[in-house]
Amino acid sequence: MFVEDKKNGTGGAILNAETEIGSDESFMVWFADNICALDMDSFVKQYKFLNESQKNRGKNMIGMVVTRDYRREETGRIVCDPNETNRIMEFTEKPFTKLDLPETLGIYIFSNTLFSIIHNQRDSSIIGNSIDLSFDILAKLPSLGFGLYSYPISSHIDWIDVESPVYAERNKELVKRILAQMKVIK
């Protein structure tokens, strides 16, 4: 199912899928502009395992977020000489960088409890119906006592946020590599 809802935000888009999901215990959200050769079986198994273990501990698990702690930079990086103004000592084109904090990739598995949280947020909002999944919901979940877990992908799995057709064209080799990892192309 594909849902786009700019007026109501990403949280509103999720609510548009609520009747389709129905009584299913959990559901997946994958932002359509993200391409990743995610091992879906492993992702779902990890979610089910954590969800069961949290239930056994009497805790509420709300979901898992796919993350990575590395990135191929878009631009070159330099190291300047501290003793000579603007003199470049080292130049690296588009390096592979270890991130200080993991970043999210726009791929999630959520408990259907998320629907009531989004409804509550929207009902209590004084600025309208637009609900941003990241800012209005995910950022608040840990302080509300809900378990939100990370699913880190390995450095062997590529990912791209396809911002535009131009960006996809500029990164077509990466897109081809991801599609090959997904076994979509050879």
pLDDT tens digits, 110-145 = 999 999 999 988 887 766 678 899 999 999 998 888
pLDDT tens digits, 147-171 = 899 999 988 888 888 888 898 898 8
Q: Minimal CA–CA distance to 146: which of 116, 106, 101?
A: 116
The Cα-based distances of 123 to 12, 116, 118, 120, 143 in angstroms read 12, 10, 9, 5, 19
Domains of the chain from N-terminus onward: 9-181 (3.90.550.10)
pTM of the model: 0.80
